[in-house]
Amino acid sequence: MTETAKILAKAGIPFREYGVTAVDNYCGLSATQSPDFYLVEGSIIDLARVFESLLYPSLPYADAGLEVTTDDSGARFLCVENLAQEGLGSLAVTDFRRNPLDGRFYDPRGVYTALRERSFDPSGEDQENSLFEICLYLSRLKTSEATVLPKPLLPASPSKLWQKDLLSHILQGPNSSAALEFLRDSGFVSKFWPELEALVQVDHAKDCHPEGGGWSHTMEALMYRKSRELRLSLAILLHDIGKARSSSREGHRFDKHAEIGAGMASRFLRDLGYSADIVNDVTFMVRWHMLPAALPRIPIASVQNVVFDRRFPMLLELFRCDEFSSFKGPDVYYTACAAYRAFQKFEKNPFRERDGRKRTRYSAAINR
């Protein structure tokens, strides 16, 4: 049970997890880096009495909230007069709920059968916030082959917090690419995230990227994640956005796209309100995502600050997704890993430099 749920229970406020949070628990998915959704039988005043840092975000799916932190997944609260109330969102699956105190699920709209098959029906009469909801469930569930996805109305002016919630929840699902494809088809990406839409125009050479252009490559790379850690997922999503603004120079098709992309990624994430820690970590990975390929043949002294950075193992995972999505095989990735392990080994050896050269007797004595 989350810390938020414990506080609600201790305060005697009746509540349920609902919507995507209840679905995640039913499906055994972990989404610890995006806010949980709670249905609360009470008012904002009741919540303000027990949560000092309560937010009032003016979101279509939340009357109040708690921000995501390193220690807590955050929360979005929807206040109702009765926990049995239906019509919490545009889709029937949004009414699905769970009591964290005893683990029991509640299914007022009859979606159990579909959830057992890990599927959902995206049709709904109410169009309010349906784009948001469909994307969240597409990132976790599937639709039948006969289903024609609706084209919901785009929000006129979605808040930055709404957009951040949307992106974070999408990237916490195993089927992130399906949700992002739907979001782009709806016209949302071109209107609100043009940096990502520009990837569609990035033309890759087929011998290097048989999976397709910049957008197709990015969607493919997301499918190779072994972890849905938010920083990694954001870095995969943004690792090539600099290509649209780079140019060909001295045989390099997308010259300096990593440097350009790092700046673009930083602005994109800061604009959506991500924390400085997340922005810095993602920017680091975007900036250096090309380095692992060159690791075996460059002097370690020139990149030691990067290679021995705490984030380098995550950067290697980004590189693996980048390589495997291009169907190149594992050789380059494994070679980069071997070089990294060698550097780590030499780092711990008092008689070797970081590049493997023997230390002089004087320097070896100093390093003891």
For 1, counting Cβ atoms within 10 Å of its Cβ (0-12 exposed, 13-18 middle, 19+ buried), the class is exposed
SS3 call for 231: helix
Q: Which residue has the higher pLDDT, 28 or 343?
A: 28
CA distance 321 to 155: 32
pTM: 0.89
Number of domains observed in the structure of the chain: 1
What's the pLDDT band for 358 if we cut at 50, 70, 90?
Answer: low
What's the pLDDT band for 212 if we cut at 50, 70, 90?
Answer: low
Q: What is the CATH number of the domain that holds 293?
A: 1.10.3210
CA distance 202 to 74: 36
Please name the amino acid found at residue 223.
M
pLDDT in tens, 256-303: 888 999 999 999 999 999 999 999 999 999 999 999 999 888 887 888
For residues 239-265, give the mean pLDDT. 83
Closest CA to 273 of 132, 163, 183: 163
Whether 107 maps to a domain, the answer reads no
Q: Is the separation of the CB atoms in 230 and 171 below 8 Å?
A: yes
Q: Which residue has the higher pLDDT, 210 or 90?
A: 90
Whether 236 maps to a domain, the answer reads yes
Whether 95 maps to a domain, the answer reads no
Domain around 345: 194-368
SS3 call for 282: helix
What pLDDT score was predicted for residue 317?
96
pLDDT in tens, 55-66: 999 899 999 999
In whole numbers, what is the pLDDT of the chain averaged over residues?
88
What pLDDT score was predicted for residue 368?
44
For 148, the token pair is 């024609």
Whether 242 maps to a domain, the answer reads yes
CA distance 330 to 334: 6
What pLDDT score was predicted for residue 276?
95
pLDDT in tens, 155-188: 989 999 999 999 999 999 999 999 999 999 999 9
SS3 call for 77: strand
Q: H-helix or E-strand containing 346?
A: helix 331-348
The residues facing 106 across adjacent strands are 97
Closest CA to 130 of 76, 74, 176, 188: 188
Whether 258 maps to a domain, the answer reads yes
Which range (85-94, 230-239, 324-333, 355-364) has the least confidence? 355-364
